[in-house]
Amino acid sequence: MGFPTKVQLIKRKASEQWYINFPSAVAQAMEFQRGEVVEWLVEDKETLVLRRPNAPGRQLKKNPTDRSGPSSTPSGAKPGAPSARGAAGSEHNGSP
């Protein structure tokens, strides 16, 4: 989801200052701190990247892994692929 923001320009006698303000929702979601130093990187004329060299560490979301579900497969096996027990040359009696 994007947050449209206008670029502002303040012209003074000897200088210009350009401003881009963050919407409060973005600043809060990113947990910016007052006075935090950031770095702008220009990728192209459509893309600016804001880098935070001292950003707080990432917090991983806790997603319990349910390995008993129907989508789990042995490591590296493709769903629907025969297992080593069901390989060619062996009889399959329907039990795992």
Residue 60 lies in a domain: no
Question: Is residue 44 left, alpha or beta, with left meaning phi > 0 and alpha meaning psi from -120 to 50?
Answer: beta
Give the range of the structural domain holding residue 44, as residue numbers without chain letter.
7-51
Residue 18 lies in a domain: yes
- The mean predicted confidence, pLDDT, of the chain is 77
**Total domain count for the chain?**
1
Residue 39 lies in a domain: yes
* Amino acid 22: pLDDT: 87
Are 2 and 24 contacting, i.e. CB atoms less than 8 angstroms apart?
no
pLDDT digits (tens, 9 = 90+) for 38-57: 999 999 999 999 999 988 88
* Amino acid 1: pLDDT: 73
Residue 68 lies in a domain: no
Residues in the chain: 96
Residue whose pair of structure tokens reads 């923001």 in the numeric block = 5
Residue 58 lies in a domain: no
Residue 66 lies in a domain: no
Distance in angstroms (rounded) separating the CA atoms of residues 85 and 92 = 8
Torsion of CA 28, 34, 35, 36, to 10 degrees: -30
* Amino acid 84: pLDDT: 47
Residue 59 lies in a domain: no
Low-confidence ranges of the chain (pLDDT < 50): 72, 81, 83-92
* Amino acid 50: pLDDT: 93
Question: Is residue 53 left, alpha or beta, with left meaning phi > 0 and alpha meaning psi from -120 to 50?
Answer: alpha
